Amino acid sequence: MDDLMRRVNFRGLGGYPSAAGGRVKSNKLFRSGELSDLKPEDVEYVQSLGLSFICDLRSEGEQQAKPNPVLAGVKNMSNPAMGGAVNMQNLSDVFKTMAANGQGGAPLLEAYKKFVTDPQSRQAYRTFVRSLLEAEGRPVLWHCTAGKDRTGFAAAIVLLLLEVPIGTIMEDYMKTAAYRQEANEKLMAKAREAIQNEEQLTWVRALLGVKPEYLLASLEEMRRVYGSTDNYIVEGLGISDEECKLLQEWYLE
């Protein structure tokens, strides 16, 4: 699994402490980057996890370009959240949009706020949590392309539902900085070949990276719109207190 962590940012959420008592169960909740390039032995390992579903948060275009492997007995759930992958072909359009919106310094801050307020995003995360309830404690996996933004926000939701402290949620989010280092270095090398503008290279670096203020922007947006993160769960995601307790029974020990 260490090799999977390094290559596709694949990891579990087991072991984190909960204010509800106990810890998150191991081998139940998994997050990852894209799965299309898994080696045969990787596919065998993922198959062995006994997953109820794989929730794919990528756009339809991303899914068609790099489809997930088919795993026997595992539901492959297409559930596009807002956003998409940055690649060398669409960087010009990305730069224009960022400049028009004044996002040069922190290009992902607005995206993380929209995870909370954008209708498509809100529906995608509602669907994700509903599927988690339907899994009834069985192992599950969710992913996007890099396994950091759309996936990182989904992981934060799951840990909020399980009453994991905010500090621990941030620690999990920031692990991506280490696990994406190798992949990001390769992408930055390609970017340097295609781009000479140093400011634009700085933007690319920001788009590929993770910073605490990104996820904090989501949490603050929850509080701004709904009054608290707890209210976001109830009103934004439509999850009742009873359903939260069920998830805690299934995924805490």
CATH number at residue 124: 3.90.190.10
Give me the pLDDT at residue 59, please: 92
SS3 state at 179: helix
For residue 238, the tally of other CB atoms under 10 A from its CB is 12
Distances (CA, A) of 170 to 51, 95, 139, 252: 25, 28, 22, 19
Give me the pLDDT at residue 89, please: 46
Please state whether beta strands 53-56 and 75-78 pair in parallel, antiparallel, or not at all (unpaired): parallel
Q: Which residues contact 38 (CB under 8 A, 6 or more apart)?
A: 8, 46, 69
Q: Which amino acid is present at 156? A: A
Reference 155, options 134, 179, 178, 175; nearest CA is 175
Domain count, the chain: 1
Give me the pLDDT at residue 196, please: 75
Domain of residue 245, residue span: 2-251
> Could you list the pLDDT tens digit for every one of the 253 residues in the chain?
678 887 889 999 999 999 999 999 999 999 999 999 899 999 999 999 999 999 999 999 999 999 999 999 999 999 999 765 544 444 455 555 555 555 444 668 888 999 999 999 999 999 999 999 999 999 999 999 889 999 999 999 999 999 999 999 999 999 998 777 666 667 667 777 777 777 777 777 677 778 999 999 999 999 999 999 999 999 999 999 999 999 999 999 9
Distance in angstroms (rounded) separating the CA atoms of residues 197 and 12: 38
Q: Which residues contact 62 (CB under 8 A, 6 or more apart)?
A: 34, 84, 85, 145
Is this model's pTM higher than 0.95 or not?
Answer: no
The structure tokens 């045969």 sit at 40
Q: Determine the number of helices (DSSP H) and then strands (DSSP E) in the chain.
A: 14, 5
Give me the pLDDT at residue 97, please: 54
Distance in angstroms (rounded) separating the CA atoms of residues 140 and 55: 8
Distance of CA 146 to the CA centre of its chain: 8
Give me the pLDDT at residue 169, please: 98
Reference 247, options 88, 148, 119, 128; nearest CA is 128
